[in-house]
Amino acid sequence: MKRLIRTVAALLSAAMLCGCSGNTEPKPRLDVDTTPVVGENCVTPPFWVVEDDSTGAQIFLLGSMHAGIKGTEYPDYVLEALRNSSWAAPEMDTVDFSRDFVLQQKCAQYLLLNGTTMQDILGEDYDSTEDYFRSKGIYQLGMDGMIPFYWASAASGLVIDEAGLDSSCGTESVLLELAHSEKIEIREIEGGEAQYKMMGEIPMSVQVQSLAECVGDDKISAQAEASLELYNAWSCFDEEYLDSLEVYDPAEVDSPEDWQKYYDLMYTDRQKLMADFIIDSLKCGEQGFVFVGAMHYFAEPSILTQLTDAGYTVTAIRGTVADDGIQAA
């Protein structure tokens, strides 16, 4: 069983239910080829379809990766599913969020420390942590007043760079830009504020341990290696690898209760929300395209498990190599 490093987990993961809107132009269901042929440069990411014959609904489910490799392409079968959908549903609309400075400032409040500083929290480890961040050019004024997860997110850029990945090539960046350019309706499943609020509620012991994994070249290199391995598994829909990942081992952490709270915040609670969103859309007879962090389809109780338990059949779509897609850069 492979352990999923928290910074790596952010590549797969990091809440409004949509009722039947009544104003979405219905589209015919696609005839789905479960083993479509793809070009040599195409990724074949985790991808499924779930349908409701009683309502005519068809919802495509894509496991996203928050960073990618320049020059990779998304296959036609993914893009056709997106374009045939009445709407696209990510965890949050990162394109809109990047333009909304008022919302960004509001969300940043959830990451502030209250009545304490990072020096108080880290104690004797503070100086070495600050020195390392300064040496890498990622220390910023005001960071002492931000939670450890904020520091860890600043270090994630080091991991992505060393792994040879690029956040601008991540699934959200590519597909949201496409959806916006083609005026496909965007329905946020969670939204930026919900995600930031969740990060601020993660137990401090978990945040401190996650930050410790980001201090030191050897630790950054280990995370980069794990991130690239994860990307490679994602890019070819390696279900066995993804299913083998574990978020934490209770025997290896100091505060198992805190880690369980982290798991519930990051996975259990959010996946219930995501599954409910999908089930609601199926009952409403909609044609939609959901893309959330790939781990949400594998960490139990996963989205797939909850859909199956609700009586739906979820069918995997696995591309086979051999000619055409969209540039993911």
The helix-helix angle for 217-235 and 148-163 (nearest 10°) equals 70
Share of residues in the chain with pLDDT > 90 (%): 84
Question: pLDDT grade, residue 324 (50/70/90)?
Answer: very low
Share of residues in the chain with pLDDT > 70 (%): 90
Arithmetic mean of pLDDT, 282-305: 98
Question: Which of 274, 78, 98 shows the shortest CA–CA distance to 173?
Answer: 98
Which pair of tokens denotes residue 55?
A: 């309502």
Strand ranges, E, within 149-256: 185-186, 245-246
Q: How many CB atoms lie within 10 A of CB 128?
A: 12
Q: Token match 């805190």: residue? A: 258
Q: Token match 């290199």: residue? A: 221
Q: Is 221 helix (H, G, I), strand (E, B) or coil?
A: helix
In the predicted structure, residue 22 carries a pLDDT above the cut 90: no
Residue-level pLDDT at 2 = 60
CB 172 within 8 A of CB 289: no
Residue boundaries of the structural domains of the chain: 2-327
Residue-level pLDDT at 321 = 79
Instruction: Please give the mean pLDDT across all residues of the chain.
Output: 91
pLDDT in tens, 175-213: 999 999 999 999 999 999 999 999 999 999 999 999 999
Query: Pairing relation of β-strands 185-186 and 87-90?
Result: parallel
- β-bridge mates for residue 49, sequence order: 60, 315
Task: State which H helix or E strand residue 203 sits in.
Answer: none
